[in-house]
Amino acid sequence: MAVLNKIRQRGLFLIIVIALALFSFVIGDLFRNTDALVGKSQNIVATINGKDITREDFLQKVELAQRQLGANGTNTQAMNRVWDQEVRQAVLETQFEELGITVEKDQMRDLLRTNLANSPEFQNEVGVFDENKLNEYIANLKETSAVAYKQWVDYENNIAVSALQQDYFNMVKAGMSGTLAEGKLEHTLENEQVDIKYVQIPYASIVDSTVSVSKSEITSYINKHKKQYEVDATRDLQYVEFKELATVEDENIIKEDLSNLLKDQVVYNEVTKNNDTVKGFAHVKNNKAYINSNSDLKFEDRFVFKSELPASIADTIFKMNVGEVYGPYKDGTHFKLSKVVAAIQMPDSVKARHILIPFVGASSAQPNVTQTETQAKHTADSLLTILKSNKSRFPEFVTTYSSDQGSIEKGGSYDYFTYPTMVEEFRDFVFENKVGDMDVVKTTFGFHIIEIEGQKNLQRAIKVGTIARLIEPSETTINQVFRDASNFEIAIDKGDFQEAASSKGYVVLPVNGIKILDENIPGLNSQRAMVRWAFEEGTDVGDAKRFNLNGGYAIVQITAKNPEGLMNTEQASVTALPAIRKEKKAKLIKDRISATTVEDVAAAEGQTVKTALAINMKNPTISGAGKEGVVVGTAFGLKEGETSKLIEGEKGVYMVQVTKKTPATELDNYQGFANQVGASKIGNVNTNLYNALKDASDIEDNRANTVQ
């Protein structure tokens, strides 16, 4: 009881102590998780001009973009596409909001009418857009499918955004015009001219090795040109690749296996308990079945001309008789045995006409097709019977019965086409029969009544059956590559990466400047996992890791971690060193010249005096020297007969003398040139406006932390 009384007496004190303890706990947790204080939520991919892009919404759009890109598109490509779209939309939306421009209901209806005018489902009986049908469609979506309705809303939003962007760009363009003063200036820049004589002392006249540049000078140059040398955080790597490639022994085994297929073989039959003779490739009759049972590539049931055969074997194979076999031979990534299984005289192009009778389930069959396959065949046979006795009715039957819209207007006719143009059954009939032949041929599209109208250039064609075996490493080779990679991992764990590679004759490939959102590693293609590892917290310089590749491995080591900021002197020296050398050479040249005339400078420096005529400021190019804006600008600032001081140009130090000045002719009106300036400004809106807005925007990119 006494204890309770003391607690009551000190209640306020205890409350303060407890509060401080809780506060300490919360603050401590915040400092352990700095994101809670200063960082962005892991659910925020980016913040653009104060607007957040959530991870969930971003990834949904990435998934959709991935589907649109198809099998050849990577996740990183999809992510970058969505990122560019999101940034563009957010940057421009900031402008829309500041200007107060929106898409109102009436404008949206006009936009939908424009976009959907040619959609049959929204047209009335006479083919005109019907807004009532659109309203019914939207109402039906809203009632029957929340997903479909959301897709429709997204579609409307996309239309609205496109319209706003167009309106915004048009507003900016409307403000782009050229004044008469600008027109006069444009005329002056194009037409005012000077003639000069000049001397150039090239920077190349001083050997680079005689001009020393210190690291401190490079550092100073970087600090003076910070914008040029600002870089993102990067990683430098080096790697050794271990490829699972077929060895010479592997190739010899493949060739031997193919050679064995040429021979008849005696095989024990478990069912009959007798030995059976299995015919070799040269003697089999059912070539298609034999090839498909023994080849990595399926039999191609088609004729080919000599020009379609691989150049290296065309002469040999095309001269062979039916039944003869050539090989084994190497063709790209395969070893092959090729057999001529048939030969005919065949045209290189054919003209034919047809009537297509589709049936339910046939490819491209329209909803109004009601005939079954049996009924369609009966219709085609009946029409053929009539046509064989009266071909003049062919155009009439095409109009009445044929579903091939591409040929109806031409009476069902297709002008001369080549062998691969048509589907297999259609192709075989028209190329392997004679002019005038007519019959019913079934394809995936239905039943065709075909008549061959003409054939050109009859020549020999052959059908080649080929057994192909992919050249790939054996299990023994694959195991050896694995052991080599494992042994190299052990070696670099105990010693230097370069030394371990050199001792085994492995090639070390360096990769510099990899950024956190990069995907491709030069020489290895898409390796997003490798890039993620390089930027993981805890991955340090010298760390190495094995990565599985498609057909091998790569052992990768981190060689440098370059922080965000300015380039180091080594990286910057590629461009800084030549620039500093040029500055030093210019000073050396200027310091040694005391002459004040073009002729004297040329004589002192062993150069020749050159002339350049009709120079203008619009295109500041000097004949014999190239583009030299500073030199040309200096010349236009001189009076006729006046000589300049020494000028530091792009390719050397110059001295010029103006020999003639021709002012631009005064015009009564400069409107034409003003219009030219205005058109140029309008053209620049499309290319420069968005980039200018983007550069001026506040963009916080958090993809590296929120999206893998």
The 3-state secondary structure of 471-532 reads CCCCHHHHHHHHHHHHHHHHHHHHCCHHHHHHHHCCCCEEEEEEECCCCEECCCEECHHHHH
Residue given tokens 């150039």 in the structure block: 200
- pLDDT category at 5 given cuts 50, 70, 90 is very low
Let me know if 406 is exposed, middle or buried by CB neighbors in 10 A (0-12, 13-18, 19+).
exposed
d(CA 379, CA 369): 13
Residue of 654, 653, 655, 656 whose CA lies nearest to 584: 653
Once rounded to an integer, what is the mean pLDDT over residues 526-542?
Answer: 93
**pLDDT at residue 673, as a whole number:** 94
pLDDT over 60 at 12, yes or no: no
Classify residue 594 as left (phi > 0), alpha (psi -120 to 50) or beta.
Answer: alpha
Take residue 288 and report the two structure tokens written for it: 């298609």
Cα 150 to Cα 67, 157, 285, 589, 651, distances in angstroms: 18, 10, 61, 72, 62
461, 318 Cβ separation under 8 angstroms: no
Say if CB 185 and CB 645 are below 8 A apart.
Answer: no
Query: Can you tell me the distance from the alpha carbon of 591 to that of 597, in angstroms, rounded to the nearest whole number?
Result: 16
The first and second tokens of residue 479, run together, are 């195991």
* Sequence-ordered list of residues with C-beta below 8 angstroms from that of 170, at least 6 positions apart, any chain: none
Q: How far apart are CA 683 and CA 675, in angstroms?
A: 12
Longest Cα separation, the chain: 125
Q: Is the pTM above the cut of 0.85?
A: no
Q: How far is CA 636 from the centre of its chain?
A: 46
**Alpha-helix residue ranges (DSSP H) falling in 270-372:** 287-294, 311-318
Q: Which two tokens stand for residue 207?
A: 């050997």
3-state secondary structure at position 102: coil
Contact (CB, 8 A) for 531 and 236? no
Closest CA to 142 of 155, 152, 130, 131: 152
How much is the average pLDDT of 684-703? Answer: 91
- Residues 463-521: tens digit of each pLDDT: 999 999 999 999 999 999 999 999 999 999 988 999 999 999 999 999 999 999 898 99
What SS3 state is found at 409? helix
User: Helices 497-504 and 475-494: crossing angle, nearest 10°?
Assistant: 140
Distance CA 309, CA 305 (A): 7
Closest CA to 396 of 384, 412, 414, 381: 412
DSSP 345-369: EE-SEEEEEEEEE--TTSTT--TT-
> Residue 470 corresponds to which tokens in the numbers above?
């992919």
Give me the half-sphere count of Cα atoms (radius 13 Å) on the Cβ side of residue 634.
Answer: 20
Q: Go through 41-69 and write b for each residue having 16 or more CB atoms within 10 A of its CB, e for each that does not.
A: eeebbbbbbeebbebeebeebbeebbeee
Q: Region 440-446: what's the mean pLDDT?
A: 96
For 164-209, what is each residue's pLDDT tens digit? 999 999 999 999 999 999 999 999 999 999 999 999 999 999 999 9
Least confident of 50-64, 82-96, 268-282: 268-282
Q: Provide the 3-class DSSP secondary structure of residue 21.
A: helix
| Residues 6+ away with beta carbon under 8 Å from 591 | none
Give the pLDDT score at 663. Answer: 95
**In angstroms, what CA-CA distances link 558 with 189, 489, 565?**
54, 14, 20
What element of type H or E holds 162?
A: helix 146-174
Query: Cα–Cα distance between 538 and 670 in angstroms, integer?
Result: 67
Residue 575, CA distances (Å) to 221, 568, 588 in order: 10, 12, 20
Mean residue pLDDT across the chain: 89
Beta-carbon contacts of residue 588 (< 8 Å; ≥ 6 apart): 206, 211
How far is 563 from 566, CA to CA, in rounded Å? 8
Range 281-288, long-range pairs (CB < 8 A, 24+ positions): 281/325, 281/337, 281/339, 281/467, 282/323, 282/324, 282/325, 282/339, 287/339, 287/341, 287/465, 288/465
What is the distance between the terminal CA atoms of the chain, rounded to a whole angstrom? 62
Percent of the chain with pLDDT over 90: 68
- Which one, of 461, 440, 557, 463, lies nearest residue 509 by Cα? 557
pLDDT in tens, 116-161: 888 888 888 777 888 888 888 888 888 888 888 888 888 888 898 8
Of 68-82, 505-519, 653-667, 690-704, which range is least confident?
68-82
